[in-house]
Structure formats: C-alpha cells, structure tokens
C-alpha cells in the first residue's frame, strides 16, 4: 500500500539546522509531488512548500524562503526537508504529504516528525 | 497568505448533523473548486475526507459531505458519531504552488 515513512524526532539548539526525511513506498516515486506541512504544538497546519521528485524542482512559501531546502533521492524514493537557522518558533511536527499532479489535495500523509528547538 | 477562517469549535449530539464553515477570498476558496478537508485525531497525521469541494475518497463515510458558495466552503457531518470527534481543517490552493489551510475546528460529540 502507499506509505510515507518519516524519520524520527529531533532536538536542536537555536541557530542549528535540521534535516527530516520522508521515504515513499507503494507507488512510482517520480509520478507524484510531495509537500511539507508543519504544525506547532496546539496550533493549526501551516503549508511550507513542494518538491517534484520527477525533476527535483521546488517551490517554497515566502515565509521560509532562504532557510528551507527540499531535495530528493530517486534511488531510495526519499525526499528531504532541510530547515536552517532554527528558533523556538520552529518547534513543531513536520509532515510530508503526497499529491498527484494537479489534484490539489494531499493523500496520504507521513506520520509526522517532531522537531524541538531548545537551548 | 492569511489562513482560511473556521469556527474554533462545533459540537453536536450523536445522530445530529453539524456544519463547519471555511471562509477565504476570491483568490483561494472562491477561485477554483479545489477545497479539501482533513480530519485529525490527537497525535495523528491528517486524513483526507473531502477533495474538490464535494468528492469523497474511497473508504470515507457518506456521512461526510462538502459544498461551496462564493468564498465559503462547508463540511457537513450527518449522523454524528463518537469517532467523528477531532480537529478538522479545510485547505485551498491559493496561488502558484501555494496552499493555505484553515484555522481548524474542534468537533465535540456531546
């Protein structure tokens, strides 16, 4: 079955970077887009950006421009989200989610990765 | 891009119907029929419940239905059940490769 499995929880100090992975299985990796969405504790969902595994192209929301990088490894069907210059406001659960091109919805989602930023 | 506006909480008794609204602008909700809805239980990932305003994915109960009028989309849960408790989020495609989520609604079954 289609599955997105994310890497484990991380604890980082302010100013550091974090790299979260999302491994896809059960479908042709390059035929679907992958998005990243985060959720701060007790808060709502916040859209971060998209990576297109077919060609590796990316688009990020303006809020994260300059400190977010999404990459992919087609040999392992894995996408990565790298967020730098972390602050306490980046403490959140980070989700990856799949979209078929031009479908405009996300299904399924990864299980989420908790990133805690604390000194 | 501002979050879409949802009521913070909605409640109902078992068997009743409830409706959650999702208000945006002509640049997002009102522009295309691409609003989707997600259910989230505590500590879990969101689950797709409605896509393209009115469509239900395979496996989602027909007690869930969606609609849209102008810049406001709505999710209706009929025959409310205890398992429907959780948080619900709407989502719309906004601009080129940008999406916006709703503020979220906590559904309580009394």
Please, are residues B23 and B11 in contact by the beta-carbon 8 Å criterion?
no
pLDDT tens, position by position, B39-51:
999 999 999 999 9
User: What is the Cα A47 distance to its own chain's centre?
Assistant: 10
Q: Which of A5, A20, A47, A105 is the best mutation test for B, with the most CBs of B within 10 A?
A: A105
Looking at residue B99, its pLDDT comes to: 94
Q: What is the DSSP string of B35-94?
A: -EEEEE-TTS--EEEEBTTTB--TTS-TTEEEEEETTEEEEEE-S--GGG-EEEEEEEEE
Q: For residue B71, which phi and psi values (nearest 5 degrees)?
A: -95, 10
Query: What is the model's pLDDT at position A52?
Result: 95
Condensed to tens digits (0 to 9), the pLDDT of residues A46-100 reads 999 999 999 999 999 999 999 999 999 999 999 999 999 999 999 999 999 999 8
Chain A nearest CA to B105, separation (Å): 9
Distance of alpha carbon B105 from alpha carbon B100, whole angstroms: 15
For A20-29, what is the mean pLDDT?
Answer: 97
Residue B37 has pLDDT above 80, yes or no: yes
Q: How many CB pairs under 8 A join A and B?
A: 61
Mutate to test the interface with A, among B47, B53, B58, B99 (most CBs of A within 10 A): B99
Query: Which residues from B are below 8 Å from A37, CB to CB?
Result: 46, 101
pLDDT range class, residue B95, cuts 50, 70, 90: confident
CA distance B19 to chain A (A): 19
Beta carbons of B29 and B4 less than 8 angstroms apart: yes
pLDDT at A102 over 90: no
Residues of A in contact with B3 (CB under 8 A): 44
What pLDDT score does B96 carry? 73
pLDDT at residue B32 in the model: 87
Q: Please say whether the beta carbons of A116 and B67 come within 8 A.
A: no
Closest CA to B89 of B43, B21, B1, B11: B21
| Contacts with A48 from chain B: Cβ below 8 Å | none
Contact in structure between B90 and B27 (CB atoms under 8 Å): no
Tens digits of residue pLDDT in B52-64:
999 999 999 999 9
- CA distances in angstroms from A85 to A10, A76, A95, B64, listed in the order given: 15, 27, 19, 41
């Amino acid at each position: 079955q289609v599955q997105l499995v994310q890497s484990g929880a991380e604890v980082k100090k302010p100013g550091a970077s974090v790299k979260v992975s999302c491994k896809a299985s059960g479908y042709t990796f390059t035929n679907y887009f992958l998005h990243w969405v985060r959720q701060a504790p007790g808060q709502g969902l916040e859209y971060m950006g998209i990576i297109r595994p077919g060609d590796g192209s990316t688009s990020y929301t303006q809020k994260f421009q300059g400190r977010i990088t999404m990459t992919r490894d087609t040999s392992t069907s894995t996408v990565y989200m790298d967020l730098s210059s972390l602050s306490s406001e980046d403490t959140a659960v980070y989700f990856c989610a799949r979209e078929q091109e031009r479908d405009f919805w996300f299904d399924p989602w990864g299980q989420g990765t908790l990133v805690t930023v604390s000194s | 891009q501002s979050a879409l506006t949802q009521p913070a909480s909605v409640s109902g008794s078992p068997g009743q119907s409830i409706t959650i609204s999702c208000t945006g602008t002509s640049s997002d909700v009102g522009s295309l029929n691409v609003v989707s809805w997600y259910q989230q239980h505590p500590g879990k990932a969101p689950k797709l419940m409605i896509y393209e305003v009115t469509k239900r994915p395979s496996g989602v109960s027909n007690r869930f239905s969606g609609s849209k009028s102008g810049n406001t989309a709505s999710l209706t849960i009929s025959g409310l059940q205890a398992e429907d408790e959780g948080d619900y989020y709407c989502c719309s495609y906004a601009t080129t490769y940008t999406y916006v989520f709703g503020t979220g609604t906590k559904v309580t079954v009394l």
